Amino acid sequence: MSRDTSERPSRTGTKTDTHAEAGTETGTDTDAYADGRDCPDCGERVPVDPRFVTWCAACGWNVDPEGAAQEEPEPDRVERLRRGLAHRYGEQLFADLADPGADGPGAPVTRRTGGAARLGTLLALAVHGLTAALAAAGLWLLVAGWGEGLQAVLGAFLLALAVLLRPRFGRLPKDPGELPHLERADAPELFALVDEIAASVGTRGVDLVLLDTSVNASVSTYGIRRRRLLTLGLPLWSTLEPRERIALLGHELGHYAHGDTRHGLLVHSALCSLDTWRYVLARSEDGGTLSDLLINVLTALPRWAVHGLTALLDGATLRATQRGEYLADGAAARVAGRDAATGLLERLLVSGSIEAALHREIVGARTRVGARARREAQADGLWERVAVAARSVPRQEYERLRRVAELRGHCVDDTHPPTHLRLRHLARAEPRPPVLVLTPARAAALDTELTTPSHRAAILLLRDGAA
């Protein structure tokens, strides 16, 4: 959950870890398990549910049968570097935030700048300065060498490269078949709630809300005017209680309040430019031809320079990004209460179960005759069925996922602190009454307002399989 001020959204959560120390009563009781067996390692009786992994809470047997290595492909050199930095900063930042003078989860959101932030700004300016130099050199070669062949070709190439590396402002998809985009006139209740929460965390509201089918939420900005976009994943939104929905909005709007240097327009666009350089200069692994060998040799020096500059920019900004997540969690706890913020983070643990429920719905819609009519019929109540599936996850599975995520740490994500550290940080705060409570009448009005666009999103999900 980090703020994104250009085309890359800041997400509510990732497959990170949690800790029982700061948990809430989430999921159903383990008494719901009808069967059990003895642990082969310690002999303790363990519950068995065919929907989930069988494991032992006493000794940890089979807690992570797949292991972190199965989660995703082996990362490249830059990604490994980012994860190493994230691991170092994550533990260090958690310890630093324990200081009474630091920004605790109940403290007001503040902005801090330091030497690392200034270094990040200077490095980003250097990246964009290189792009400007390429454009200037390309123009000069075109003017000076017009009609002379090689100079003109080289000038055009440099200009094209500068255009490719230019800073981007982000944009909205313009396909008319896209998921629902809501403006103020479309959803006055939702925008009024967003405005109230934004005022509570010290920022302004959003200009547009996008409803999508991801188990997530995010904020971003787009266009030259830097308009604000809030993306709500309906599978996640539908599983949350009213107070947890307040926490979700408080977290996302908190990203706007504290100002994340890494995802600001200047630094973010510089990172995108460096990623483009990495792609252009990527080493050829196809192998054996003389031309491949020559290209690899010629691009070795600039390739390592790009790797080094990326490492410097990552090192200068990654800590601020992780700190931004803690601050956003604090905003959620302040506006909705600590228990609601904790419940939100724990709900993200079972994102895999929510995605499995969505997959079953998609398969069911595609295996019925009369596709369009059946899709529309099955779209009725889709999000309610997904919510029921998520709430049926027992506490035993929540605990297993907490332990798995704690074991894996930063193996999955490098921009978010481990969720178990975020939950322990929330647990440091004294319980306080929430700033805003969503009454039953207002929650019902909000659900009614979102009924039509949510149904449209459900039809698109069943038709396309993903969004």
Determine whether 448 is exposed, middle or buried from the number of CB atoms within 10 Å of its CB (0-12, 13-18, 19+).
Answer: exposed
Helix residue ranges per DSSP H, 39-167? 77-96, 115-144, 150-165
- Report the distance separating Cα 385 and Cα 410, nearest Å: 32
> Are 450 and 190 a contacting pair, CB within 8 Å?
yes
Strands 35-38 and 45-48: antiparallel
> Are 103 and 97 a contacting pair, CB within 8 Å?
yes
- Report the distance separating Cα 229 and Cα 221, nearest Å: 6
What letter would DSSP give residue 216? -
Closest to 105 (Cα-Cα) out of 431, 425, 346, 319? 425
What does pTM read for this prediction?
0.80
- Report the distance separating Cα 52 and Cα 60, nearest Å: 15
- Report the distance separating Cα 267 and Cα 117, nearest Å: 10
The per-residue pLDDT for 249 is 97
Q: Which residue has the tokens 């107070």?
A: 243
Go through 29-51 and write b for each residue having 16 or more CB atoms within 10 A of its CB, e for each that does not: ebeebeeeeebeeeeeebbebee
* Helical pair 188-201 and 440-464, crossing angle rounded to 10 deg: 110
The per-residue pLDDT for 74 is 54
Q: Which residue has the tokens 């017009």?
A: 146
The per-residue pLDDT for 272 is 84
Angle CA(334)–CA(340)–CA(342) in degrees, nearest 5? 95
197-202 CB contacts, 8 Å cutoff, 24+ apart: 197/246, 197/249, 197/250, 197/253, 197/335, 197/436, 198/253, 198/256, 200/250, 200/334, 200/335, 200/435, 200/436, 201/109, 201/250, 201/253, 201/254, 201/257, 201/331, 201/334, 201/335, 202/108, 202/109, 202/257
Identity at 296, one-letter amino acid code: N
The per-residue pLDDT for 244 is 96
The per-residue pLDDT for 239 is 95
The per-residue pLDDT for 83 is 67
Count the neighbouring beta carbons within 10 Å of the beta carbon of residue 174. 6
- Report the distance separating Cα 223 and Cα 170, nearest Å: 6
pLDDT less than 50: residues of the chain: 2-8, 14-34, 68-71, 108-113, 176, 411-412, 467
> Are 39 and 62 a contacting pair, CB within 8 Å?
no
Strands 217-222 and 208-212: unpaired
Give the H or E element holding residue 194: helix 188-201
The per-residue pLDDT for 23 is 37
